[in-house]
Structure 1
Amino acid sequence: MKQRPAPRTTALLTLLITVSLLVVPALADESAPSTLPHVFYGQVYNVDGSNAPAGSIIVASVAGSPAGTTTLTTAGEYGVGPGDGDAVKFAVWNSAISPGDTITFSIYGVRALESAVYESGGFTNLTLTASAPPPTPTPSPTGGGGGGGGPSGGGPIIPPPTTPSAPEVPVGQASLPLSATGEVSESVTVRTGDGVGSLTVGEGTHARDASGNLLGEVTIARADADGLPPNPPGTAIGFALNCGPAGATFDPPVTITYTLSEEEWEEIGDPATLSVMWYNPGTGEWQEIPATVDPATRTVTAQVSHFSLFTLAWAAASPGEATTPAVTGAPGSEVTQGAPGTAASGDLPMAAIAMVFGTVVVIAAGYLLLRRR
């Protein structure tokens, strides 16, 4: 006759199985993806290097959608630093944001030179610099109060002095002013919408289209990275620019300038390997153009005598080199990557841990039951 399990054993088995059924779904649910705000703090400057004034508004955006706003309470400073628990945190987040998305910033409506990569739960010291002076406010009409010859009325109204704003650089396309002899009569600069690329046609340039006619307009735009020709062996390419019209020629050459943010500059790896290349559709190959690299301003410039597809190129990391994600922030700043308590890359997922735990519990329960029989 088989021995029936003791009541105590049966109760223990029932408890183990019940716990496994409750814990496994709870642990598995922790593996569901979630994101936390990325907090930023640091210094904020005008284009001339002076502190941005108190009251300036900083707006963070991801793919054109707002993701956070803060107002400076102290000139030249925003957000929260370590130990400044009473300061206002500048938390960047929206429902559509994903790790790795690029965050752009604007200061009093002017785009900042710096950008950042979103990290769930990140805490980053990032210096922000406006790329242009603040917009000049339009003086409101001064209301007149009746005539009277006394001290309180009747005197001439003297408008406050205004500072002329810097000329706005056109975006995407610009017309070329031509002299009677067909030369460009005034230097013209046009930039891409994100400010990375710009094109300057100098005064006195002979500009012609592909048919040899006088050129009255130039265009510049970022090219889609997915549609670029294959990289030259051993190189990485990016920040491609389409300059038009295609086939246009210039004498003397015009200047193409790449201006990168701190984060974009760090992603290059070794700036000494930077070069500018143009794609030759006749040969199907990229060809290098002499270029000047200035690490202090994070710019790369090249002289080109014709229009085509241009791109920055740099030495690709060898397969044996470890790759680490770019760390956003000012040099020397402390950055916490990832939200506290989140698993690091390569850790065992929580769903797998839950399944292993449940399996062990069930096997142990079965083993105890068989021993009692």
Structure 2
Amino acid sequence: MTPTPTPTVTPTPTANVTPTQTRTPTPTATQKPPGSSGGGGGGGGSAPINPGWSTPEPNPTPTPTPREADSGSLHLGETGLVDQVARIHAADGIATLTIAEGIRAVDAAGNPLRAVTLATIDAADVPAAPGAYVFAGYACIAGPEEAVFSSPATLAFTFTQEQWDTVYNGSVQGGLVVQRYNRSAGTWEEVPTTVLPETRSVTAEALHLSAYALFVAAPGDGAAQAVAADTGPEPTAGREIPYALLIPGLLALVIAGAGALLYFRKGEP
């Protein structure tokens, strides 16, 4: 008997599905804190951990700002010295008193000074000027009177161009000077003074709180007269002959002429 052949089933080919490529996200690098090392071993490349703190930046040291006031309080440190610059202005805007750091200021009783004032003085209230000087028209008073500084403060008279032309016009070098009125002695006393034409100002050293005024050297003062007296005698040439000596000389000349005339007449035949 002939066997019946069994049919062979041919499998249907299955289509291969191409897998979709998934993009792997690239990790974002985390900024390293200041001072951390960048070490590097092989591992999985994990990002460094942020410790949650940062190094603070140093703050700049502030510069002391001068006080600007018509009457100012002095800021004193633990040692009693002025530890902040104080600048006090008079009401006229011309006079200014500047007290620097490191100065010890005490009142008449020796107690620490905590406030300073500066006011203008009317010309009528200014004590009489010294004989060799003329009052220039500007004066002020710093108070409380009789207070003193361990180092001089700076008193300045600063002018507009028009005022400066009036004050400085015609004055010789060194002619402008600031003086302090010593009330107990009743006299004016010169203080070290600097004239600054480029800034139209005159500055002076102030050790005491008192009245201060600006003076200019008087023309023809004692010093000028002394110079004139030391010039010596004038030369004879060109000097006028005194009138009292002229008359006797003329009389002698007339008499001599008359005698000569008589002599010649006697000799005639």
TM-score, normalization: structure 2?
Answer: 0.54
Question: Within 1, Cα distance between the matches of 2:166 and 2:98?
Answer: 26
Query: What residue number does 1:239 align with?
Result: 138
Query: What residue number does 1:228 align with?
Result: 126
Question: Within 1, Cα distance between the matches of 2:214 and 2:122?
Answer: 14
Question: Within 2, Cα distance between the matches of 1:257 and 1:243?
Answer: 12
Query: What residue number does 2:116 align with?
Result: 218
Query: What residue number does 1:107 align with?
Result: none
Query: What residue number does 2:163 align with?
Result: 264
Question: Within 1, Cα distance between the matches of 2:114 and 2:80?
Answer: 10
Please state how far the C-alpha of 1:214 moved relative to its aligned partner: 0.5
Please state how far the C-alpha of 1:234 moved relative to its aligned partner: 3.4
Query: What residue number does 2:19 align with?
Result: none
8 Å contact kept, 2:68–2:86:
no
Please state how far the C-alpha of 1:317 moved relative to its aligned partner: 5.0
8 Å contact kept, 2:192–2:205:
yes
DSSP 3-state at the match of 2:113? coil
Question: Within 2, Cα distance between the matches of 1:295 and 1:246?
Answer: 30
Aligned length: 153
Question: Within 2, Cα distance between the matches of 1:313 and 1:271?
Answer: 12
Bigger radius of gyration: 2
Q: CA RMSD in A?
A: 1.9
Query: What residue number does 1:180 align with?
Result: 78
Please state how far the C-alpha of 1:253 moved relative to its aligned partner: 1.3
8 Å contact kept, 1:171–1:193:
no
8 Å contact kept, 1:169–1:191:
no
Query: What is the correspondence of 1:15-34 to structure 2 with a 5 Å cutoff?
Result: none
Which of residues 208, 231, 234 in structure 2 aligns to 1:306?
Answer: 208
Which of residues 89, 99, 107 in structure 2 aligns to 1:209?
Answer: 107
8 Å contact kept, 2:97–2:118:
yes
Please state how far the C-alpha of 1:271 moved relative to its aligned partner: 5.6
Query: What is the correspondence of 1:52-63 to structure 2 with a 5 Å cutoff?
Result: none
1:196 maps onto 2:94 in alignment? yes
Please state how far the C-alpha of 1:168 moved relative to its aligned partner: 8.3
Question: Within 2, Cα distance between the matches of 1:231 and 1:245?
Answer: 23
Q: 1:285 to 1:277 in 2, by over 3 A?
A: same
More displaced stretch, 182-191 vs 167-176:
167-176
8 Å contact kept, 2:118–2:141:
yes
Deviations 1:117-143 (A, max 9, x none): xxxxxxxxxxxxxxxxxxxxxxxxxxx
Query: What residue number does 1:294 align with?
Result: 196
Question: Within 2, Cα distance between the matches of 1:286 and 1:231?
Answer: 8
Q: 1:185 to 1:169 in 2, by over 3 A?
A: closer
Query: What residue number does 1:284 align with?
Result: 186
1:255 maps onto 2:154 in alignment? yes
Please state how far the C-alpha of 1:267 moved relative to its aligned partner: 1.5
TM-score, normalization: structure 1?
Answer: 0.39
DSSP 3-state at the match of 1:186? coil
DSSP 3-state at the match of 2:92? coil
Deviations 1:152-207 (A, max 9, x none): xxxxxxxxxxxxxxx78634200000101111111110111221000011101101
Task: Please tell me the residue identity of whatever aligns with 2:213.
Answer: T
Greater RCO, 1 or 2 (C-alpha within 8 Å, sep 6+): 1
Question: Within 2, Cα distance between the matches of 1:266 and 1:256?
Answer: 21
Query: What is the correspondence of 1:25-174 to structure 2 with a 5 Å cutoff?
Result: 170-174=68-72
Please state how far the C-alpha of 1:282 moved relative to its aligned partner: 2.3
Q: Percent identity?
A: 37
Please state how far the C-alpha of 1:318 moved relative to its aligned partner: 6.0
8 Å contact kept, 1:277–1:313:
yes
Please state how far the C-alpha of 1:265 moved relative to its aligned partner: 1.5
Unaligned runs of 5+ in 2: 1-64, 222-269
